[in-house]
Chain A
Amino acid sequence: MKNDIYLKVIIGIGIWFVLVTIFAVWEYSILKAEMVLNQKLLSHDLIAQKGPLKGGSPLYVIEMLVWTLLILALGLVWSKVLFPQRNLLERVVFSLIFGIFVMPLSIFIPFVMVTIGTVASTLFGTDAPGFIGPTVGSIVELFVSGQEQVYEFANVFIFFVIGLALLAFKQLRKPTPAPRHS
């Protein structure tokens, strides 16, 4: 297990989510913004346009399982790159955690930056940084136009391609065993 970064990666993702949960979700203005955002989403109602999922909850669970398999594929590729010596259960656990981390990553980074900016300006009693307004606008627009899933799908796809490229690179760099001389 020399140079094994399994726990470090999982703890790193855990710290990221604690940061997101404590700073982003529980920051009052963001929570208030979320309530306003939900009113906007309710008025827009993409669900009503699409109609209910035919097949009800069983089909919903099946769709979810199909997505889970795709995320497992993503995680297994990355775990093969990062810690190939780990067993299957550990790699499955990593895959689920990694999937949760990757899917909303491109949304959470600006979200966290906005929150840090808001909290810092409140604590220091200064004006909110200029980037907050436009970034919040972009985040709200993203949700209202129903693009959240587009980003999540794209994030998973991009990470999958990067993972495959890294895996291929690693395989190419692997020293070939010397031929046996009889």
Chain B
Amino acid sequence: MEALLNPFFYADFLPRLFHTIGTSWGIRMVCMCSLANFFNLVLHLILGAILIWLMTKRKELQQDRFFILLLLGIGFSGVSKLLDWFANMRTATGTAVFWSNNLDLVVEVLQFIGIGIILYGIVTKLFYVHHARISNPTND
């Protein structure tokens, strides 16, 4: 397994240019996870906007628990990404690494709650059993 995983640590084989770009541009951006957080944030905004647009267009969706849970989950997850991105920005524009264990835990907890809500919404939607109303037999 070690031999299988070793090729993933291939930095020594890269041309000098990659190291120069990665350690200058990258360090200024702190870690590139800040970029991933930024993309994530943009995606959350796009998905949230589409959901809100759908829910305003079709009123019946406002009563649908699945869409409400989806929007709530996206909200939690989006705030988590925003905080994470903010911490990265503080480091990039400051003179030292901005790190807070508490903030990191808040970020992870919010993300976890967001994923939990979305998964709960999806699972309950998938396994929802529609109980057909049994009509009373009539005499006519």
Tally of A-B Cβ pairs under 8 angstroms = 150
A21 at the interface (CB under 8 A from B): yes
B124 at the interface (CB under 8 A from A): no
- Complex Cα distance, B29 from A178, in Å, reads 52
B64 at the interface (CB under 8 A from A): no
Contacts of B91 in A (CB 8 A): 47
B27 touches A106 (CB 8 A): no
SS class of chain B's interface: helix, strand, loop or mixed? Answer: helix
Contact of A142 among B11, B38, B111, B115 (CB under 8 A): B11
- Complex Cα distance, B95 from A50, in Å, reads 9
B36 touches A103 (CB 8 A): yes
B9 at the interface (CB under 8 A from A): yes
Contact of B9 among A18, A35, A138 (CB under 8 A): A138
Interface window among B17-25, B68-76, B131-139: B17-25
Can you list 16 A-B pairs, Cβ within 8 angstroms, ordered by A? A42-B97, A50-B28, A53-B28, A53-B92, A57-B93, A64-B29, A93-B43, A96-B43, A100-B39, A100-B40, A103-B35, A106-B10, A142-B9, A147-B22, A149-B32, A151-B11
> Which residue numbers of A lie inside 8 Å of B, CB to CB?
18, 21, 25-26, 35, 38, 41-42, 45-48, 50-53, 56-57, 60, 63-64, 67-68, 71, 93, 96-97, 99-100, 103-104, 106-107, 109-110, 113, 117, 129-131, 134-135, 138, 142, 146-154, 157
